[in-house]
Structures are given as C-alpha cells and as structure tokens.
Amino acid sequence: MIKLIIFDLDGVLASTSNEHFLAWKMIIKDKFDIELDDSVEEYTKGVSRMESLDVILKSCNLEKSISMKEKEELATEKNEIYKSLISKINQDDIYPGVIKLLDYLKEKNILIALGSASKNGPTIVKGLGIKEYFDYIVNPASLRSKPHPDIFNNAMDYFGLSPKECVGIEDAISGVQAIKDAQMFAIGIGSIAQLNHADVIYKSINEIDLKFLKNLIEGDHGKIS
C-alpha cells in the first residue's frame, strides 16, 4: 500500500531543469568564452549547485584553475541568473497532467512530498501555484545530493514510513538511482534509454496511467509485475 509520493521538481513538474543549464551556459560563456556542451547537462541534474559547478568546470578542464572563492562567486552569479530566468514562473509553466495527477493523489489521500535538490524549490512551487498540494518539502541544504538516497529517505522518515510505502518520480539518471537506493518504487519521466533503471518509465507526467497508479497505490512492490 503506497502512502507517499515524492516528486522531483526540475524537469518533472516544470521545465526549470532547462533554465538551470541555460544559466550555467550563460555564465560560462560570459566568464570564460566557452560554449558548454549540451551533453554535460545530464550530469548536472539532481546534484547541488556546487556539485553541478564542479561537473561543469571539469568538462571545460577548468577545475584546477579556479579558487574556492571564485567558485562560490560563480555559483552565486549562476543563481542570480537562474532566479531572473524563472522570475515570471506561473501556473502556465506547470507541465500538462501535473494538476490532474496531484488532484488524483489528494482524492486518494496519498501524502505528497517535494524531493528536489534545489534550494529554489519552495519558491518555484509557490510560483507555479501548487505549494498547497505538498504535505512536506525536503530541505536539501544539509543532505547529500542524488544519486545518494538522502532526499527520498528524508521525506519517508518525516512521515515515519517504510520504502515499500513510498514512490519517487524523477527525470534524471541520478534521481532514479537515488530512489532505487532508497529501495522505493521509481517512476522515471523521460527516455527509456536513459532511465532504464526505473521500475516504470513514462515520456511525461501527462502519460502516467492512472489505472496503473491506482494498482500501484493499492498493491505493493511485490505485486507489481
């Protein structure tokens, strides 16, 4: 019996994953005149701001030439750019099917948590107008980033539940890994090629089959084939 669904935010509920990488691209171009390769983006997903920066600097062979102070400045500036890119975020930016799914879960009395690595998470769900749906929002500040399971475990522990009672929904390779390491059922949102470690994969939230979800909620992991 499922009691809690833990949602990733960026790339699951809204397109804010794109804005994260766009902000990094802008700052790396501006400071170093380097065009960040799009293939780097996946490795920045689900990890903290500083870890994303480390991935990016490594991809540009800059990791040894930047001091800690410069890194902190770059991360702060990236966040300012990111915040300006999402400053007008509103209900129109919610991915199709999200509200329908949240309403369905409320109707079924399923607890809903936000399990994002982003410190901007609370601001974004407020901007999207969906903050009221969340029974709990994980504060990622002192937790290890995905693929560590900490963010998902934190939500589960808050409600005193077991992994079998929880489902995670994620669009990133690291995020699905975090859910699986937390021993929860993982719904991947994206491509089968990237997320084949998820228990079930849909191209978007809108495609989640509510009949399947009903069975998942009423059954348990062992009964899902």
For binding to Mg ion (CB under 5 A), which residues are involved? 8, 10-11, 171-172
Q: Are strands 4-7 and 166-170 parallel, antiparallel or unpaired?
A: parallel
Residue 84, burial from CB neighbour count under 10 angstroms (0-12, 13-18, 19+)? exposed
- What tokens were used for 215? 């069975």
Task: Indicate which single residue of 15, 79, 183, 194 sits in contact with ligand BG6 (rule: CB under 6 A).
Answer: 79
- Contact partner at residue 118 from ligand BG6, Mg ion, none, CB < 5 to 8 Å by partner kind: ligand BG6
Helical pair 49-59 and 16-32, crossing angle rounded to 10 deg: 50
Residue 209 a catalytic site member: no
Query: How many residues comprise the chain?
Result: 225
The option from Mg ion, ligand BG6, none interacting with 171 (CB < 5 to 8 A, set by class) reads Mg ion
Among residues 8, 54, 150, 171, the one annotated as catalytic is 8
Q: Are 202 and 181 in contact (CB under 8 A)?
A: no
CB 143 within 8 A of CB 151: yes
Shortest gap between Cβ of 31 and ligand BG6 (angstroms)?
A: 17
Please, what is the minimum distance in Å from the beta carbon of residue 225 to ligand BG6? 31
Catalytic (active site) residue 8: yes
49 binds, among Mg ion, ligand BG6, none (CB under 5 to 8 A by kind): ligand BG6
Instruction: Report the interface residues with ligand BG6, using CB under 6 A.
Output: 9-10, 17, 20, 44-49, 52, 79, 116-120
